[in-house]
Amino acid sequence: MRKFGPVLIALAMAMSAPALAQVPRAADGKPDLTGIWTNASLTPLARDRSVSKLVVNDAEAQAIVAKTGLAGISADDPEFRATYSDPNKGAPEKGGADFGLKGYDGFWVAPGERLAKVKGEWRTSNIVEPANGQLPYKNPAAIMQKQMKGFQTYMTGNAPYEGPEEPTLSERCLIGFGQTGGPGMLSVLYNNNYQFVQTPEHMMILVEMAHDARIVPIFASADEARKSHRSNAIKPWMGDSVGWWEGDTFVMETRNVHPMQAEDMSPLLSPQGVVTERLTRTAKDDIFYEFSVNDPDTYTQPWKAELSFYPSPALYEYACHEGNHGMIGILAGARELEREAEKAKGKPTR
């Protein structure tokens, strides 16, 4: 028995080794993340306060899915996921719930049909730290007030829209809504597809929503990567990201997110905030994805979220404003209101 001891030990170690040994690998030996992936799920970033635990069983997961509304529409609303466009109905009333809240037909909506399955478990929130699944904001009341103001504008259309800068970044098609592109890539209402292209020098992540591309340079170590961050004066969309490998895990650190994005992000990020993302391919059909946020100006503690990416059949072009007359109509309407105001004062108008 003593003679075969090392062999038995080696076999036991091989059998208990993680599935990483079985994942596809690139020419340089690193796990290959290249492919088209999706993180679509009905699991929210922060846990619903009516749910007490992070992990649920199959029956509990199905019950939560059955009660999950979308884009502010309750699951028991008669028009939930309905195809309710009527060409004879006319424009919705400004200020009414239909103006923005029910702006999409059901066939546009594709957030996924299940909760997120991470490490083989059904999850009720992306957030795993803190354990209550909530964002640890320093001033939650003020942040909620700000976010609700933006949501009310979206729902009702009650905004002056005096210039092209007034609509949200996603409405202007500058970046995707709902934090789909990161840092901290989250599932949104539709278009939850990503294309990863990996080389020894770069990781490129093409985000379908809304035609964004993250091109992350790869360095030999964390120290080298952090020394290679650009000047703090440079604040691009989705931030300044650098990457490195820690064993079989690809790590991205992002700083200096564009201020307009950082103020509009869900979750919010201050100019001092740092987001660290980690991608580990655990199987042919799974990438374990986690990200942590360290932002003492906004949060009472660092917090962490976990998701999974799994294969998607295709990625499509999202031509957000191609042929879209919305912005022209918005600005034309604002100018018409100005002319009416001048006319009421007895002033000549053009």
Q: By mean pLDDT, which of 16-20, 199-203, 205-209, 319-323 is the weakest? A: 16-20
The predicted pLDDT at position 13 comes to 43
* Residues comprising the chain, all counted: 350
The predicted pLDDT at position 177 comes to 84
The predicted pLDDT at position 3 comes to 47
Q: What is the pTM of this model?
A: 0.85
CB atoms within 10 A of CB 323: 5
Q: Are 262 and 179 in contact (CB under 8 A)?
A: no
pLDDT, tens only, 251-272: 999 999 999 888 877 788 999 9
Amino acid occupying residue 210: A
The predicted pLDDT at position 168 comes to 78
| Domain boundaries, given as residue ranges, for the chain | 35-311
Please give the Cα distance from 36 to 124 (Å, whole number). Answer: 25
Q: Is 211 left (phi over 0), alpha (psi -120 to 50) or beta?
A: left
For residue 338, pLDDT over 80 is answered with yes
Burial of 238 from C-beta contacts in 10 A (0-12 / 13-18 / 19+): buried
Q: What are the helix (H) ranges across the chain?
A: 5-16, 58-66, 140-156, 222-227, 259-264, 326-344
The predicted pLDDT at position 105 comes to 66
Kindly report the average pLDDT of the chain as a whole number. Answer: 85
pLDDT, tens only, 266-314: 788 999 999 999 999 999 999 999 999 999 999 999 999 999 999 999 9
Decide which of 142 and 105 is more confident.
142
- R_g of the chain, CA atoms, integer Å: 23
Mean pLDDT of 41-63: 96
The predicted pLDDT at position 119 comes to 96
The predicted pLDDT at position 210 comes to 85
CB atoms within 10 A of CB 52: 11
The predicted pLDDT at position 20 comes to 61
Spatial CA neighbour of 42 closest among 69, 22, 24: 69
Mean pLDDT of 324-332: 79
Q: Are 144 and 71 in contact (CB under 8 A)?
A: no
The predicted pLDDT at position 157 comes to 67
